[in-house]
Amino acid sequence: MYSDIFFVAFKFPNLFRRIFAEGAFTQSFLPSFSKSEFKPSFAWNVFKYIFIIILILSIIVTIFSHQITDILAFGFSNEAKKLAAPLVAINFWYLDLIFIVTFLASLLQYKKHFATTAFSTALLNISLITALILSMHKNKQTIILYMSIGVIIGGIAQVLAHLIVAKRKKILKLLYIGIKSKKKADISTFKKHFLPSVFGNSTAHISSFLDTWLATFLSAGSISYLYYANRLFQLPFALFAIAISTVLFPQITKAISLQKYNEANMHMKKAFWYLLYLLTLATIFTLINSKEIIRLLFQRGAFGIHDTIMTANVLIMYILGLIPFGLNKLFSSYLYATHKHLKSAKFSAISLGVNALLSLILIFPLKVSGLALASSLSGCVLFYLSLKEYGISKFMKYFEKKYVFVFIFVLLFSFVISLFFKYIFNLI
């Protein structure tokens, strides 16, 4: 129950973190920033505009934490809601910190610096691990309080890491010029694209949030099964889909702005095949070794064999959506580069509708696994819509013989390496 409470409290700001950190802000900000005549003023005005909104939102969540918790954890008992409310208030302030990180990360991306942002997430994990170690022998309620404080300390560490590099890259100087400047840059284009971009990027994460909300009506532990399984889904998704899309986006944006459409499509083609190879390997490996992976990572202490089986079943359902969600990340980047933010938002709305409907249908026969399957099926719908908008005829040109032969080899290699590791896992 206590892990369920913490995951609900952390899920709310984490939803916003994932929407911001995985492209929505950057995909709206960078194209507008690139075209701005007076970049310092533009950057500062955008930061001020968004940060004030987030700050007000954080204050509202803090004041009305009990009412918001009633909505977030609707299926919880009154006792669990009472325990969760102060944690929801504490955790939400992480959003303010992560927006500062995302803003600085976007400016670092403009200067082709990715390493700090890629590393900084580790600081959050280190902070959470430290909180767990310090609270190891305390009661469970104190442990989840320590973890919530650890989230905030991790966020502060991420901000400091970005500030150090931002100073070195002269980004802080740029912002200082923007603060002092009397010129007011126009941010209307950014505002126009930002909300559609947020919604367009949020499908997988809103789906996960919906899963968590519905899981509050299921037996204790269901939220934790979803959380642990989703962590393992997010690992290859972040390592491959987000990483490739993050690096690809500035390249195709510049190519399209210079009307070099063939060059942009060539970048897309190469990225597609690299991503498909990697996601296929990750999908097959996880499908064959789901139980072994969960057992190795989590089965100790209060996490028993029943928990392993339940989490593994959820993981299988989630991992079926890895390829469609991952490839959609690629093609949605192209839509944003061509300023089709509203189209992407529309596709996300359709996908979320499908997810909500399927979740309500599948939760009865499959319980918590049905929620994960609904999410994966909605990912397939989203990928199809994005691909159709990109152009099926353009996409079919990707299928040259050499790439198809390599894909067949990757399939065979994936099965062999997965079976080999299954044997190794069973020896451990």
3-state SS string for the chain: CHHHHHHHHHHHHHHHHHHHHHHHHHHHHHHHHHHCCCHHHHHHHHHHHHHHHHHHHHHHHHHCHHHHHHHHCCCCCHHHHHHHHHHHHHHHCHHHHHHHHHHHHHHHHHCCCCHHHHHHHHHHHHHHHHHHHHCCCCCHHHHHHHHHHHHHHHHHHHHHHHHHHHHHCCHHHHHHHHHHCCCCCCCHHHHHHHHHHHHHHCHHHHHHHHHHHHHCCCCCCHHHHHHHHHHHHHHHHHHHHHHHHHHHHHHHHHHHHCCCHHHHHHHHHHHHHHHHHHHHHHHHHHHHHHHHHHHHHHCCCCCCHHHHHHHHHHHHHHHCCHHHHHHHHHHHHHHHHCCCHHHHHHHHHHHHHHHHHHHHHHHHHHCHHHHHHHHHHHHHHHHHHHHHHHCHHHHHCCCCHHHHHHHHHHHHHHHHHHHHHHHHHHHC
Among 233, 391, 204, 222, which Cα is nearest to 322's? 233
Residue entry with tokens 């490839």: 327
Q: Give the pLDDT band of residue 194 (cuts 50, 70, 90).
A: confident
Query: What would the mean pLDDT of 402-423 be, rounded to a whole number?
Result: 95
Specify the pTM: 0.77
Query: What would the mean pLDDT of 318-333 be, rounded to a whole number?
Result: 94
- Which range scores top for mean pLDDT: 20-34, 248-262, 347-361? 347-361
- Comparing 150 with 118, which gets the higher pLDDT? 150
- Which range scores top for mean pLDDT: 220-229, 341-350, 401-410? 401-410
pLDDT at position 18 is 66
Angstrom CA distances, 193 to 30, 31, 189, 338, stand at 11, 10, 6, 11
Least confident of 6-10, 280-284, 320-324: 6-10
End-to-end CA distance of the chain: 30
Distance between CA atoms of 214 and 76, rounded to whole angstroms? 11
pLDDT at position 201 is 65
Q: Which residues contact 138 (CB under 8 A, 6 or more apart)?
A: 146
pLDDT at position 207 is 75
Q: How far is CA 421 from the centre of its chain?
A: 28
Residue type, 334: Y
Other CB atoms within 10 A of residue 301 CB: 6
Query: What would the mean pLDDT of 144-163 be, rounded to a whole number?
Result: 96
- Comparing 68 with 36, which gets the higher pLDDT? 68
Q: Does residue 94 contact residue 152 with C-beta atoms inside 8 Å?
A: yes
pLDDT at position 200 is 66
Distance between CA atoms of 92 and 49, rounded to whole angstroms? 19
Residue 361 in this model has a pLDDT that exceeds 90: yes
Residue 240 in this model has a pLDDT that exceeds 90: yes
Token pair for 268:
């897309």
Token pair for 272:
């597609």
pLDDT at position 23 is 59
